[in-house]
Structure 1
């Protein structure tokens, strides 16, 4: 069977419904063989179609290629979970408030007060301000819907919620909007886990409720609602009638008669600004009419401000809503937490190098503030890392570091070959490591270069373990640095966020060891007084205790002992008396100590002309503290200078850092910062390559062929002009080119003029020309402004 590159050249066999045109058995068997052959080829090319191909010029084992594919799936699944969890955690308080609002929306207030209910019915409405990035609202409102549905499923005591999510692209008119809403509510109650007998029994029960027997005979109809619309049967009511929803809700209430409370119907309008206001006004009016029978709650997503609500809806429609406002967190809060969770913390995941990390920051803060764009960029990073890097099978995955036993097992299974060892020796970090140890330990360098088994099973696990330990220590010192920085809020030069400090850590060759901010911090710590020093030690001790409770891997015994963190902080606190005497006790005992000191030492001191309060404070410091705060501040400064210079170095100093840090930026820039104007210029200048036209091809690149597209002809004439061009001259030149296309035939001037005007309009739309008015002649100005 031939393989075709184009689907238009393929041959498809359509089996006839009737037996008259049925093909013979011989042809059918041959078709089945062809189908089986095609299926076998597609199964063999399954990984290739997914984007993964065998590297090392096709010599990579197929199992290694499969491992790279599985590793990518697992890594992206874990990263996506972190991104979603951070988004939920960021808006946790707002989600709780929305859930509480929906739960208490239909609790009657007149039951306890004894007041009479009003004749009109206001719909409880939550105005959710989700920010200006409307593409990000999909994820946010999906999580809100999952939260409202999941909260009722987790607890039997809470109010169950049925959610219908409406978007403007699916609600072009009122009928489609009503049908979409009703279908979502009815589909939420369908249970697909029943067996065939249960489904048949339910269908018989529905037939009885419809007024029919199981065999199809008519029966007197009753008022009880049926689920025929969900079983695919025809209903007498149109699918956009609210009576269907009313009957379905009464059926749900009867089925949940033993529940604690009645279910709520939540209608979520995701992009309010994109809806037709007339459709929403009619929808609100219909829901208000059914307010006494259906507990409907509205959630309206607003991207701008509440003024959009008042400007779009009429006063009569606004009077039907009982609104309450909720604000979701901005995307930059989520982005900062994502950077902390994925890159700064020592997680077993792929990290970004300096240029991709800076590109991610610039693209987020200077372009779109988009959550979806960040997710797409991170997914692209994982895809390219596992797709193009054969050593990605050694990257830490599934939160499990690479161990010696794991590599030995991979080598026995044939996943690691000599090509992998050769590829490791070609890494720049490995060559730098060999240059560093060739004089100190030449035997080790020679063994790393010659012995593949030693390199893959002994050296690689050691290198990756050292890199992982470097991540843990650098993160611990990074947290100490941000804690000390927070003690000096008045110094503008120290006000740097974590993301910018991390960028400086990646970009500098020496990391933050010799940076300006480190010198500032060390200098300011040396000048701390007693009160500031006490606050600093309290912050450091809180950092130690909080991280021990939340993340035991950060301040593990090995990290704490290597930094000598716990012993030093506790020792400094004891020397300043922070462990023995509290602040309240210190103030109470201050009077007695000053009195005693005054009686014993005051006659021997020359305090000069000072106030009594100053004398008392100075005498207390001299007796109890002496010069201890100065000694402690100098010791803290020396200690932080030591750990900053030792553990805040650059990651490039560690061998095999390419397995963890992704540093390819060219493909990222090409994919996420496209240049449409350059593409348009190339398409207009070389149109034959884009439309696959053979008659327009010419060896002379600058020549203008009359068979080319009109806009391409006009663009090439435009390139021959300066900043200004006369329209009539441009028209005459365009007509001369068109005449060559017609040959000896006469060219209709009206046709040429129409084609010229159309092409000029296209160039003006693309932003190549800008019309200007003059009294003498018709001139257009050529511009390079973007559209």
Structure 2
């Protein structure tokens, strides 16, 4: 016996025991291992991964807090409704109890919107809030888990009673429970009522009260949440409501309906006799567009997080949101992907942190990392603007490079602090203009994208917006100036202190203009109102009329502007100077690649896939996905080692609109059975193997499922091709 080799050699049969090897098993790969897989420097990659993780944890915490703030008003109103509706069951009389009958079930219709992917998080938070503040008896039901009344009652009892309820309800009873006797159809709910009475009785007799929860009612309500009301079968829903209405005196049931479309769906799913058993109150959640605006304002338009998104990246994320799913959660996932891609693809992303930490890391950079700085396009453009002496130092001296890079990073952080307040001020001026040339009131992201992409003052929209600003009324102008003063005060930027003083000076000058109109202004208004009728009331021909109108136009141009018009022009010109100074695109700043993620194509490829292109790539070139070296071949060659569906797909590309199935089968058989060096005479046997025939049928069925072919009535032994061309 050779124990060392782990093998045995014996004449007789026996059982041999081998001790486990002392070598440690290979541990599974972590997230950091996948992150550092393609990186050259593992130490540098670990720093980038830790920075990425800490940044995303801050962003995630901020998004969760924002979600709680947005849902707080909705949840508070829901809890108030639950408490009022439950007061009748406890014997309390109030205005709400007068509105309901004894057989009605209080129902909260919660309209959440079409962003269905976000509903799970909302209901999870709602269940936690209800458990903490109202009742411990909360059940959440989904339509896919409740195809029938039997499954619905089983799921309900399992969640409430904490175990899988073995409900004695046969399939026959499921169909006839509404017509059968009350005892038979009420068996599951009767067991729930008895369980509820025993639990509440034990709770009332016990003197212990937990301080962590705020529900100390002797008979807390039982809340049943139907997450996706539209997906429930109408018959199942109606039967459940009818059964539940029979026990309103014994069981304090309260329904919460999750609605994605419209409250009218309740009356479409339920008959009048069933809907009359519900006392419905409507609740509206915050719209997904308002939620997105809050996310952009709290995450992207703030200086708390060093990482920035370019205009193209933000446009990709918003387009997916607006044209696909309206899901804020998917928007946040796209933001997370942007963070990971930036720290994985940018070697200098280790400097994408808060300024004090970035300065420390900058001082400890190695020569190779300094070379990465020199290779940045923005830094190369900066070097071209310097003198020849400075250019030599920047390209040769690492210490001098670090000093300059520290100054550039400070300028970049200062640019961020000044950019956001000025952007908000410009948005306050332009959001109320006719036709919204630079974005609506609640969509500051449109103006943000425009300023990030190019010099916004060179666009036609900016020119038209400032033409309209020169015609603003006094009340609107003063109100907007006050908002801008508040924005600059809250920003607390030292560089914008002069701008703040200038705006306050404009406000004081407008205040001095109130109630005082000069004699020149009276004369101007008098000429504006009286002179045209006096001139034009004389009879004249077309030539003299045109000449008179031109003279009036020139005279109006040459007239002296009023004090208000002069002051209004000063405000508009000052705003234009602020825009030109502080809203320059980030590409004009050196080292912007360190803090900006601009790879929109990668983001679009991951989040907004093209299914048809991906299918063609997989079927036409399976090596792209399978990574099998045997599948590497020249274009136009069909390998017999490829999957059957790939062979059938390539063969169908060579056919016309109608494909003969027998010819297709023969070609498939030829490719599959032909190997390199095989005799062609031995291949052509004249009879198709049953296994190959079955493989062909499976491949054709898969192509039909993918939508490449379909059956046709023109010829029984043919199929119609649904695509054309090579892609």
Decide: shared fold, TM above 0.5. Answer: yes
8 Å Cα contact 1:127-1:326 kept in structure 2: yes
Distance (whole Å) between structure 2 residues aligned to residue 751 and residue 22 of structure 1: 42
Higher mean displacement: 297-306 or 112-121:
112-121
Distance (whole Å) between structure 2 residues aligned to residue 520 and residue 355 of structure 1: 24
User: Which residue in the other structure is 2:168 paired with?
Assistant: none
What are the within-5 Å matches in structure 2 for residues 514-529 of structure 1? Answer: 514-528=458-472
What are the within-5 Å matches in structure 2 for residues 514-663 of structure 1? Answer: 514-528=458-472, 532-545=473-486, 548=489, 552=490, 554=491, 556=492, 558-562=494-498, 564-565=499-500, 567-576=501-510, 578=511, 586=515, 627-663=562-598
1:166 aligns with 2:150: no
What are the within-5 Å matches in structure 2 for residues 187-226 of structure 1? Answer: none
What are the within-5 Å matches in structure 2 for residues 14-93 of structure 1? Answer: 27=19, 31=21, 33-34=22-23, 37-38=24-25, 42=27, 46=30, 48-49=32-33, 51-53=34-36, 57-58=40-41, 60-61=42-43, 64-93=44-73
Change (3 A) 1:688 1:467: closer
Structure 1 residue 388: deviation in Å? 3.4
Distance (whole Å) between structure 1 residues aligned to residue 638 and residue 39 of structure 2: 45
User: Which residue in the other structure is 2:377 paired with?
Assistant: 428
Structure 1 residue 560: deviation in Å? 3.3
Which of these residues, 93, 96, 106, is aligned with residue 86 of structure 2?
Answer: 106
1:712 aligns with 2:663: no
Distance (whole Å) between structure 1 residues aligned to residue 461 and residue 528 of structure 2: 39
1:358 aligns with 2:315: yes
8 Å Cα contact 2:85-2:96 kept in structure 1: no
8 Å Cα contact 2:114-2:260 kept in structure 1: yes
Distance (whole Å) between structure 2 residues aligned to residue 260 and residue 683 of structure 1: 61
8 Å Cα contact 2:617-2:624 kept in structure 1: no
8 Å Cα contact 1:52-1:387 kept in structure 2: yes
Which of these residues, 109, 113, 120, is aligned with residue 138 of structure 1?
Answer: 120
User: Which residue in the other structure is 1:483 paired with?
Assistant: 428
Distance (whole Å) between structure 2 residues aligned to residue 729 and residue 394 of structure 1: 63
Distance (whole Å) between structure 1 residues aligned to residue 189 and residue 428 of structure 2: 64
Change (3 A) 1:286 1:676: same
8 Å Cα contact 1:768-1:782 kept in structure 2: yes
Structure 1 residue 106: deviation in Å? 1.1
1:96 aligns with 2:79: no
Distance (whole Å) between structure 2 residues aligned to residue 561 and residue 542 of structure 1: 16
Change (3 A) 1:754 1:431: closer
User: Which residue in the other structure is 2:130 paired with?
Assistant: 148
Distance (whole Å) between structure 2 residues aligned to residue 329 and residue 677 of structure 1: 36
Q: Alpha-carbon deviations, 1:310-336, whole Å to 9, x = none? A: 343455543432222222233222222
Higher mean displacement: 772-781 or 137-146:
772-781
SS of the aligned residue for 1:126 comes to strand
Normalised by the size of structure 1, how large is the TM-score? 0.71
8 Å Cα contact 2:137-2:221 kept in structure 1: yes
Distance (whole Å) between structure 2 residues aligned to residue 241 and residue 448 of structure 1: 78
Distance (whole Å) between structure 2 residues aligned to residue 52 and residue 244 of structure 1: 52
Change (3 A) 1:480 1:182: same
1:124 aligns with 2:109: no
Distance (whole Å) between structure 2 residues aligned to residue 424 and residue 775 of structure 1: 67
Q: Alpha-carbon deviations, 1:125-153, whole Å to 9, x = none? A: 11112222322211221232233345x2x
Distance (whole Å) between structure 1 residues aligned to residue 101 and residue 68 of structure 2: 40
What are the within-5 Å matches in structure 2 for residues 767-778 of structure 1? Answer: 767-774=707-714
Change (3 A) 1:47 1:179: same
8 Å Cα contact 1:464-1:656 kept in structure 2: yes
8 Å Cα contact 1:125-1:297 kept in structure 2: yes
Instruction: Structure 1: state its 5+ residue gaps.
Output: 1-10, 12-20, 153-158, 189-236, 611-624
User: Which residue in the other structure is 1:7 paired with?
Assistant: none
8 Å Cα contact 2:310-2:596 kept in structure 1: yes
Distance (whole Å) between structure 2 residues aligned to residue 410 and residue 688 of structure 1: 42
Q: Alpha-carbon deviations, 1:612-662, whole Å to 9, x = none? A: xxxxxxxxxxxxx99311220221122122112111111111111112110
1:249 aligns with 2:183: no
8 Å Cα contact 1:288-1:320 kept in structure 2: yes
8 Å Cα contact 2:378-2:592 kept in structure 1: yes
Q: Alpha-carbon deviations, 1:387-441, whole Å to 9, x = none? A: 3333222212xxxx312xx4575578xx6433322222221111111111235xx
8 Å Cα contact 1:121-1:289 kept in structure 2: yes
8 Å Cα contact 1:166-1:268 kept in structure 2: yes
User: Which residue in the other structure is 1:498 paired with?
Assistant: 444
Distance (whole Å) between structure 1 residues aligned to residue 530 and residue 261 of structure 2: 65
SS of the aligned residue for 2:85 comes to coil
SS of the aligned residue for 1:513 comes to helix
SS of the aligned residue for 2:458 comes to coil
8 Å Cα contact 1:47-1:66 kept in structure 2: no
Distance (whole Å) between structure 1 residues aligned to residue 97 and residue 231 of structure 2: 40
Distance (whole Å) between structure 1 residues aligned to residue 130 and residue 609 of structure 2: 39
Distance (whole Å) between structure 2 residues aligned to residue 78 and residue 478 of structure 1: 24
Distance (whole Å) between structure 1 residues aligned to residue 362 and residue 436 of structure 2: 55
Structure 1 residue 245: deviation in Å? 3.9
Q: Alpha-carbon deviations, 1:362-395, whole Å to 9, x = none? A: 2222222222321211111111222333322221
Normalised by the size of structure 2, how large is the TM-score? 0.76
Higher mean displacement: 168-177 or 107-116:
107-116
8 Å Cα contact 1:767-1:784 kept in structure 2: no
Distance (whole Å) between structure 2 residues aligned to residue 648 and residue 373 of structure 1: 29
SS of the aligned residue for 1:558 comes to coil
User: Which residue in the other structure is 1:17 paired with?
Assistant: none
User: Which residue in the other structure is 2:262 paired with?
Assistant: 305
8 Å Cα contact 2:109-2:259 kept in structure 1: yes
Higher mean displacement: 415-424 or 684-693:
684-693
SS of the aligned residue for 1:104 comes to helix
What are the within-5 Å matches in structure 2 for residues 341-420 of structure 1? Answer: 341-396=298-353, 401-403=354-356, 406=357, 410=361, 416-420=365-369
User: Which residue in the other structure is 2:607 paired with?
Assistant: 672
Distance (whole Å) between structure 2 residues aligned to residue 68 and residue 608 of structure 1: 70
Distance (whole Å) between structure 1 residues aligned to residue 669 and residue 318 of structure 2: 51
8 Å Cα contact 1:265-1:296 kept in structure 2: yes
Distance (whole Å) between structure 1 residues aligned to residue 99 and residue 323 of structure 2: 53
The alignment's C-alpha RMSD in Å is 4.4
Count of matched residue positions in the alignment of Structure 1 and Structure 2: 644
8 Å Cα contact 2:102-2:248 kept in structure 1: no
Structure 1 residue 536: deviation in Å? 0.6
8 Å Cα contact 1:265-1:295 kept in structure 2: yes
Q: Alpha-carbon deviations, 1:35-54, whole Å to 9, x = none? A: xx33xx639x65643x2328
Distance (whole Å) between structure 2 residues aligned to residue 114 and residue 402 of structure 1: 57
Change (3 A) 1:307 1:753: farther
8 Å Cα contact 1:472-1:559 kept in structure 2: no
User: Which residue in the other structure is 2:169 paired with?
Assistant: none
